[in-house]
Structure 1
Amino acid sequence: MVADLAGEFGAELVRAIRAGLAQGASPGHGPRGPSKLTWYAFATEYARAHWPGRAAKTRDEVSDALTAIILAMCWDIPGKPKEQLLRRALRHWAFVVPGPGHQEMPAEDRLVLQWVGKASRPLVDLHDPNLARDVLESLRRKLDGGEAAMETMRHKRKVLVHALHYAVEWGELGSHPLQKIRWRVPKPAVAADPRVVANPYQARDLLRAVSYVGSYRRARGRRLVGFFAGMYYAGLRPEEAVAVALPDCRLPRTGWGRLIVHRTLPQAGKRWTDTGQYHDERGLKNRPPGETRVVPLPPQLVALWREHVTTFGTADDGRLFFSERGGIISYTTYHRVWHETRDLALPPALTNTPLAKRPYDLRHSALSTWLCAGADPAEVAQRAGNSVEVLLSRHAKCLYDRQSINNQRIEGLLSDYDRPPEPAE
């Protein structure tokens, strides 16, 4: 109760200061008394405290959010660097715990962070509702001034809320400054766009066209046919397909095979991983460490993967899909190949549509195909690594042009009843 009252009195004091009714008051007293901590000093401590054990992509998202917030929490004092320099210094150094291969901070970035340290407003200033709302509104904006994606806003707001809870626990704030601020992120569309879902004919043409990307000798496309096929025929996520290794596969000469999925290799960047590599080795998404998932492989995929191993072999660690030098396939590499593939496989009328625009859309197509085939949703969810609720709300979409097939069936049934009944004998 005392802590909550302190937070409320802090906001009142801020308003009093603005009106000239108080001098030198410090709002937002925590249990240890008036806090003099700046937002920048607090944010760097928060980032370091929440670094160990976190996924590399989570660290990246936290840094991105804290950078956006600090830019809204700085006074406009002389010597302000350009925003591009500010963002670079904050993203690359302020909220990063140095790992293997990290170089020494450049002098220019060190000067930028010194300015941030001087310009940063006190943490307790967030008890001013006007400032708190300004900070929240800053989460809506991209670098170019446009509106950020709803998912991006949601992630940034989540970091801010969690950081302020930490400040309360740490004794720097008496209460959470955002409790009385009515500000919400618009809810994103949960369901996948049905326009992105390819039917089996289109998926087959797309997978066939992948092999024609790049020269035959360099095999830029041929190396990735099985990679994309794993996303379509087995419903794998890209970070799961990248990590597929031969010891985890059963690839018989005929019939169905099997894959045991137990690790992912999401790409995050050297700065965010403990190893200093571009990819972070993690377990299954939203699953406890060590959990596995068994995915049946249809004969079409088994044949493609057997042919791939025969042609290219495996990487040193058994991975099926790797670069010419044996490295992990990068996000940029497979996206470029897929972009060229669509131009080769799709008719001009469809190349400018969302149909299979991203490699991930192959997974949407896979799950929609399984559901349209009448497969048990519980089994489909298990294979995909989703809950049944997520599956039905996000992936239960009709295949491209599936309506035409159903329309033909309905029209045929109605036409049968349009004919006069045959006379009874």
Structure 2
Amino acid sequence: MNTSYKVKFWDIRTNTRNDGKSKKPRVISHTVRWTVGNRERSSTFKTKGLAESFLSELRQAAKNGEAFDEDSGLPVSMVKAKDLRTWYSFAVAYVHAWWPHAAPKSREGMTDTLANITPILSTDAPGRPEDEVIRKALREYAFLPPDRRPVPSPEIAKAIRWIEAASLPLSALNEARHTRAVLEALSLRMDGKPAATSTYRRKRAVFHHVLEYAVELEELSANPLHKVKLRKIKSTGEIDRRSVVNPGQARELLAAVTYVGRSRGQMMMAMFACMYFGGLRPGEASALRKKDCHLPEKGWGLLTLEKTSPETNSRYTDSGESHDERGLKHREQKATRPVPIPPELVKILRQHIKDQGVGEDGRLFRTSTGKPFPGSTVSKVWREARTYAFTPDQVTSPLAGRPYDLRHAAVSLWLNAGVHAPEAAERAGHGVDVLLRVYAKCIDGQRAVANQRILDALAA
């Protein structure tokens, strides 16, 4: 470490931006400037308070006669303190801090992303395990709360010891090359092929949030992610219209489901029908109970949704089961969502309750043990049903490739039928803006209407 006692400080510089919305420039950050030896140094902060606090620490160190590191520009005491905190130890602390506030799916996404990042932010220390072993050790041990950790195998314990010793200091992320290496890794799948844009954006968001947390704790002066630009095609989230079935195809699929297995398909058919005729998410259909259903003998019925039961690995749920019941997506814990259902679905549900009964907790769709159907079983039944209902060319196409595509077909049908966007959004549990963005390309027949209106205007 090369040090110097020749230090000079400058006033804090305020950085502004004129966004064109007003004449007065907007303050976006504050930069602390100083020199160590003959080298200029700077560090930028979001708020003036953080900048003033940092400058005060530098001045106090200089006043106490402390040497400054010429490479980092920091007092020796600050360099040592920062180097003590590794990326690995900070990532573990981050997971433990946010775990109680996150849903099971969010916990899974968080740990999966950090398990991909952590091997990148390490040195080439000898004895490095295979990356897959490192990721397994992080996902299944290190990034779990202490009371959920299993007894580690010798292989896992060895991988944890290695990553503890080889992890880069958190401060290394101030170098753009490390941050870029992480982004490039997130843009690829495990097989080296480009990852889907939506996957990259989701994992980048986790990385961004971790770094923002480091800034909040003042362990990083600014988010280093802002320095690196990695071009990636933006994802609008639009639905592939090729996956959307028409009513006839949907009914053929539902009929085909009943032919799968000795009784398994018959037990699931009404669940799939809820996704198509009611636009329910799979987790919402899985959590449906008899008390949530108003099923008159004639006319429209009503489902009052209050719970969802998405599937994830049991290590991420509070109950220890693969399905953990939660409130509805994007709504308060006790909020409900009324979904009117057509007479056809009312008839299907009444027949299902008559034939299959309900579970002890009132659940409509469950295994013989009363638990929700595993996702792997649902997917297997669906794949087989597609082979019965579709031609070979359709089977290899995206048409209704997943059970979730039934929900997409439902919402597309509502919009094509002329249901106003706010009403369709309320039934689907979406915001109107999201609804129109996601389903814009699935609204058929609008081009001809628009063309005719333009001709009428030209003629006038």
TM-score by length of 2: 0.80
2:225 aligned counterpart, secondary structure: coil
1:270-294 superposed Cα distances (whole Å, 9 cap, x missing partner): 1111111111221111112211100
Match of 1:253 in 2: 297
Instruction: Sort the Cα spacing of 1:240 and 1:379 in 2 relative to 1 into closer, same or farther, 3 A.
Output: same
Match of 1:70 in 2: 118
2:300–2:340: 8 Å Cα contact kept in structure 1? yes
Structure 1 residue identity aligned to 2:90: F
2:31–2:42: 8 Å Cα contact kept in structure 1? no
Residue 171 of structure 1: how far off its partner (Å): 2.2
Aligned pairs for 1:172-321 within 5 A: 172-215=219-262, 219-321=263-365
> 2:310, 2:42 → 1: CA distance?
43
Instruction: Sort the Cα spacing of 1:170 and 1:316 in 2 relative to 1 into closer, same or farther, 3 A.
Output: same
> 1:190, 1:226 → 2: CA distance?
28
Instruction: Sort the Cα spacing of 1:240 and 1:130 in 2 relative to 1 into closer, same or farther, 3 A.
Output: same
Structure 2 residue identity aligned to 1:246: K
Match of 1:422 in 2: none
Aligned pairs for 1:123-138 within 5 A: 123-138=170-185
Aligned pairs for 1:295-374 within 5 A: 295-374=339-418
Residue 5 of structure 1: how far off its partner (Å): 3.9
1:295 aligned counterpart, secondary structure: strand
Residue 29 of structure 1: how far off its partner (Å): 5.6
Residue 170 of structure 1: how far off its partner (Å): 1.3
> 2:407, 2:298 → 1: CA distance?
24
Using the aligned pairs only, state the percent identity: 42
Match of 1:33 in 2: 78
1:10–1:29: 8 Å Cα contact kept in structure 2? no
Instruction: Sort the Cα spacing of 1:28 and 1:370 in 2 relative to 1 into closer, same or farther, 3 A.
Output: farther
> 1:380, 1:155 → 2: CA distance?
26
Structure 1 residue identity aligned to 2:140: H
> 1:29, 1:95 → 2: CA distance?
31
1:243–1:319: 8 Å Cα contact kept in structure 2? yes
1:6–1:29: 8 Å Cα contact kept in structure 2? no
1:155-176 superposed Cα distances (whole Å, 9 cap, x missing partner): 2111111111111221211222
Instruction: Sort the Cα spacing of 1:185 and 1:10 in 2 relative to 1 into closer, same or farther, 3 A.
Output: farther
2:302 aligned counterpart, secondary structure: strand
> 1:361, 1:9 → 2: CA distance?
54
Moved more, 181-190 or 147-156: 181-190
1:275-325 superposed Cα distances (whole Å, 9 cap, x missing partner): 111112211111122111000011111111111111111112111000122
Residue 43 of structure 1: how far off its partner (Å): 0.6
Please, which runs of 5 or more residues in structure 2 have no aligned partner? 1-11, 14-29, 35-39, 44-67, 453-460
> 2:259, 2:213 → 1: CA distance?
53
- 1:111 and 2:158 correspond: yes
2:306–2:335: 8 Å Cα contact kept in structure 1? yes
TM-score by length of 1: 0.86
Q: Per residue, is there more strand in 1 or in 2?
A: 2
Match of 2:192 in 1: 145
1:296 aligned counterpart, secondary structure: strand
Match of 1:423 in 2: none
Greater relative contact order (Cα < 8 A, sep 6+): 1
1:117-145 superposed Cα distances (whole Å, 9 cap, x missing partner): 11101111111112221121111122111
1:154 aligned counterpart, secondary structure: helix
1:389 aligned counterpart, secondary structure: helix
> 1:131, 1:371 → 2: CA distance?
46
Match of 2:101 in 1: 53
> 1:162, 1:291 → 2: CA distance?
28
What's the Cα RMSD here? Answer: 2.5
Please, which runs of 5 or more residues in structure 1 have no aligned partner? 12-22, 411-425
Instruction: Sort the Cα spacing of 1:24 and 1:68 in 2 relative to 1 into closer, same or farther, 3 A.
Output: farther
List 4+ stretches of structure 1 deviating above 3 A: 1-11, 23-30, 396-399
1:109 aligned counterpart, secondary structure: helix
> 2:238, 2:174 → 1: CA distance?
37
1:89–1:109: 8 Å Cα contact kept in structure 2? yes
Structure 2 residue identity aligned to 1:220: R
Match of 2:49 in 1: none
Structure 1 residue identity aligned to 2:120: A
Residue 180 of structure 1: how far off its partner (Å): 1.9
> 2:293, 2:170 → 1: CA distance?
53
1:259 aligned counterpart, secondary structure: strand
1:18-69 superposed Cα distances (whole Å, 9 cap, x missing partner): xxxxx97674869x83312110011111111111121011111111111111
1:178 aligned counterpart, secondary structure: helix
Structure 2 residue identity aligned to 1:194: R
1:10–1:127: 8 Å Cα contact kept in structure 2? no
Instruction: Sort the Cα spacing of 1:203 and 1:28 in 2 relative to 1 into closer, same or farther, 3 A.
Output: farther
Match of 2:214 in 1: 167
Residue 185 of structure 1: how far off its partner (Å): 3.8
Between the two proteins, the alignment pairs up a number of residues equal to: 389
> 2:209, 2:31 → 1: CA distance?
17
Residue 187 of structure 1: how far off its partner (Å): 1.1
